[in-house]
Structure 1
Amino acid sequence: MRKWRSAAATAAWVAVGTAAGALGAWQLAGADGGAGATHSRPLDEAAVREALAKASDSATRSGAGVTGGTRTPPPRRPSGTASREPAGKPSRSPEPAPEPRPARTQAPERSTVRFTGGTATVECRTGGTVFLVSWSPADGFHIDDDVTRGPAAVARLEAEPGDDDEQDDLRYEIRCAADGPRARVVADTDDD
């Protein structure tokens, strides 16, 4: 009798384990839309912009994100009031003008500016202002902590050579021109 109980308990555990494994595999297969074992890849900057543009366009078409979507009906005149319009034409009260949709603001374009002391990723924003997103020194240089990042008409940074006694520091001003950001060396006014 003990053999039968032990065999039945073992069979029950095997059945429960098999069912749990099958259920887990079924859930896993359905988790990615039924596409099987696809692996996700990180998106590059262009793919992110494309996905954001698609999401923004679909939200605009569906009316999502647009404020003031409900309109109140125009007020009705009492039935006994006179109309200034000639007889035969129905009197119509003016409808309120539709609310303007918020303008889609375009993200500022990012550009990489290269200079002797390194590189900087820059955004040229509205009004000709510049913003330093990030910067990286070239080999043999480091960027001083005193960075004017913006947004401003001019962003500033200083690239210092590794052997500070041999070479002068390179001070840069970065501005946004009509054809994109430009970096230029400016005179170092520090006497140290």
Structure 2
Amino acid sequence: MALYYNSNNVPQSNNVYHNSNANNKVYHNNNLVWQKQKTIYPGVPVANTQNLGYAAYFTVTNTGSHIKVDAFGGTERGYGRVMLGGFSTIGYSKLFFANLRAYITNSFSHIKVALGDINGNVVQQLIYSEANGFDATYTAANVFNINSANGNYYLILEVESGATHLGKNAIIEMNGCYLI
């Protein structure tokens, strides 16, 4: 949500002050017109990486502003997950991504993006597919409701690619994750 005050744009990453108090939300005529966003990624570190398949067929590349989780189906199964966090959702009820792309080129694969705990247990699944040829990009226009807004979570990025001699992949790439 864009907020303009005296012809100046107030980014969602800034604070809005009223009577010297910082506010997370701004209402006009009882309608929410602006809400501060909380950056999850980039920001929170990789808390845990679990390689659940053959080590050579699961990779994670993290530049700090772009993360890529890749499972490559070779002679063995590529399978693993990355947990980003932890972070609190207290005061927030929605989540969105900046250019999260998930795609599968192998019919023996899956991708999963979820909120969970440090052990990889899913609390709320956000994105899941097993479809060969699945290719979707999620942006700020794709807003996900958080079922339990008062939780402490990790963002789980999980990929699996079954064993195949064709070298197929299951990949998740992301530039950002934000709470609103």
Q: TM-score, normalised by structure 2?
A: 0.25
State the structure with bigger RCO (CA 8 A, min sep 6), 1 or 2.
Answer: 2
* Greater share of strand: 2
Larger Rg: 1
Q: TM-score, normalised by structure 1?
A: 0.24
* Greater share of helix: 1
